[in-house]
């Protein structure tokens, strides 16, 4: 099982459901854990009837298992055990966190892959920086000489995609023990993409058809980093998902 952390203040739900869908389409068993303050998936992912009054539950959503209300991995394991299921069967656990408590509980400093997800909105940057400081401090308590390897996912609008210098983030974090990945991943933050994520909520499906090419490329880039799969294969997988969605309707 690989633990994949996504930290940052911005809403990552739609993006991570798409990442999970892509990974599931590769034949892997994947779980998306909502460890955010708002617990958005509680409201946008359809539930089976028995789960509607539960504080903690796992529900299947278009090939992705979605976990809501769990404070740590141990609670997840106990829940699955109570259902006669084995946590170790999951190949990837995608953990979405926007707060220090859940970064600690899900041990983000030790994730197999850790992504920092942000727009260039000053609030997103400031609160995201607080999370990075917290994760780095946790790492240094464990290992005084340790550092954290972090991938960067940046959300731009198409109007400012060339105007913003992403090295600004490195300058803000130059005193932190962070090893930034050489390549950044860019995901569009335009109205069309936000609308596509909302449409998926009402379709009760995870679809890619209405997303911009930049966002599709960004999702492929994330999945490639997480799984190690070649991007050429992932492009074919995404096209297959789109084709099946058109066929189904």
- The predicted structure's pLDDT at residue 35: 98
Q: Is residue 131 part of a domain?
A: yes
Pairing status of strand 64-68 against strand 92-97: unpaired
- The predicted structure's pLDDT at residue 54: 81
Instruction: Name the residue among 229, 196, 230 with its Cα closest to residue 215.
Output: 196
Q: Report the distance separating Cα 47 and Cα 39, nearest Å.
A: 14
Q: For position 119, which CATH number holds?
A: 3.40.50.300
Give the Å distances, CA to CA, from 22 to 5, 34, 92, 165, 217: 17, 18, 12, 29, 12
pTM of the model: 0.93
Q: What is the pLDDT of residues 33-69, one digit of tens each?
A: 999 999 999 999 977 555 556 889 999 999 999 999 9
Q: Is residue 23 part of a domain?
A: yes
Residue 96: phi and psi, rounded to 5, are -100, 115
- Split into its structural domains, the chain has a count of 1
DSSP assignment letter at 190: S
Residue 162 has pLDDT above 90, yes or no: no
Q: Report the distance separating Cα 114 and Cα 133, nearest Å.
A: 14
Residue, of 214 and 249, whose pLDDT is higher: 214
- The predicted structure's pLDDT at residue 243: 87
Query: Mean pLDDT across the stretch 21-26?
Result: 97
Q: Is residue 55 part of a domain?
A: yes
Q: Is residue 224 part of a domain?
A: no
Residue-averaged pLDDT of the chain: 91
Residue, of 157 and 12, whose pLDDT is higher: 12
Q: Is residue 243 part of a domain?
A: no
Q: Is residue 64 part of a domain?
A: yes
Q: What is the pLDDT of residues 185-195, one digit of tens each?
A: 988 877 888 89
Q: Is residue 192 part of a domain?
A: no
Residues 35, 105 contacting (CB under 8 angstroms): yes
Q: What is the pLDDT of residues 190-244, one digit of tens each?
A: 788 889 999 999 988 999 988 999 899 999 999 999 999 999 999 999 999 998 8
Pairing status of strand 64-68 against strand 30-35: parallel
Q: Is residue 205 part of a domain?
A: no
For 56, the domain range is 2-183
């Amino acid at each position: 099982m690989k633990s994949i952390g996504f930290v940052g203040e911005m809403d990552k739900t739609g993006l991570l459901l798409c990442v999970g869908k892509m990974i599931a389409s590769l034949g892997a068993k994947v779980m998306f854990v909502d460890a955010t303050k708002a617990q958005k998936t509680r409201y946008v992912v359809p539930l089976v009837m028995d789960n509607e009054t539960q504080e903690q539950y796992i529900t299947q959503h278009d090939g992705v298992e979605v976990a809501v209300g769990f404070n740590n991995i141990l609670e997840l394991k106990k829940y699955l055990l109570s259902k006669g299921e084995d946590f170790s069967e999951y190949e990837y656990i995608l953990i979405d966190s926007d707060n220090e408590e859940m970064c600690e509980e899900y041990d983000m400093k030790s994730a197999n892959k850790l992504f920092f997800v942000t727009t260039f909105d000053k609030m997103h940057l400031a609160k995201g920086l607080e999370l990075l400081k917290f994760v780095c401090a946790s790492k240094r308590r464990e290992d005084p000489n340790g550092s954290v390897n972090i991938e960067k996912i940046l959300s731009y609008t198409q109007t400012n995609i060339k105007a913003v210098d992403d090295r600004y983030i490195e300058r803000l974090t130059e005193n932190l023990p962070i090893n930034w990945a050489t390549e950044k991943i860019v995901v569009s933050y335009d109205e069309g993409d936000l609308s596509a994520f909302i449409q998926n909520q009402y379709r009760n499906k995870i679809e890619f058809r209405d997303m911009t090419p930049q966002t599709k490329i960004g999702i492929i880039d994330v999945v490639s980093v997480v799984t190690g799969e070649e991007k050429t294969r992932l492009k074919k997988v995404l096209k297959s998902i789109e084709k099946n969605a058109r066929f189904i309707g």
